[in-house]
Amino acid sequence: MKQYIDLLKNILKNGQKKKDRTGVGTISIFGSQMRYNLNHGFPLLTTKRLNINAIIHELLWFLKGSTNIIYLNKNNVNIWNEWADKDGDLGPIYGFQWRRWPSYDNDPIDQIHNLIHDIEHNPYSRRMIVSTWNVGMIKNMALPPCHLLFQVYVLNKELSLLLYQRSADAFLGLPFNIASYSLLIIMIAKTLNLKVKEFIHVIGDAHIYNNHIKQVKLQISRTPRKLPTMTINPFIKNIFNFSFKDFKLINYNPHPHIKGDVAI
């Protein structure tokens, strides 16, 4: 995870003070790229402990097309609670756009289904893209999507994924995003008998909130440890059939967790 630690150092060194909608304030840089070779291990942060259970459950929740926090809360995942309404609803966020993007002819588009179909039947396509930035529906979303578009690339039966993220809370949210999309690549590859290759992460506004600077400095003082391995049930051949029990993280030995408050 040297790429991630280097990003934190870059923000601390070169970031500019910037106001934000939360009122907390940030130091920010614009336009970053990180590349993770997934054959070198699963990129789950080791300089502080992350909750892999929450990462897995959130990704399964996205893939179900769900936009209500009931499933997450039943599995002790509370990362979306601050934005949900009294009924637990979040509006047409990630899962809705992934699985039921509204079309002009009123026939919802299942972008994930279409993506899997194209990887299988037209793997050299340059149109294998999934977007959540539905301009006409942003006003109805509890939070506009941060990780808003990804594209997959297949060559020599190896699968890579490039994610564009408009905004990244470098201390709290970003490590989750790295692990989540890396896991998504592994899931797609395993169900389609492909090899995994690379996760490329492009970030617009990468920032550290002012109330996280102390925690970030502690984190970069720690020496990264060997990456763990993520294994998944090899008998699952449909990405929509995975459940939590189909995942196993091996040899995760991180430094202790570092607490930080979410800027709402």
Active site residues: 146
Residue with token string 């977007």: 131
Which is it for the CA torsion 79, 80, 82, 88, positive or negative? negative
* Cβ–Cβ < 8 Å for 46, 205: no
**Cα 187 to the center of its chain, rounded Å:** 14
How far is Cα 47 from Cα 225, in angstroms, rounded to an integer?
A: 7
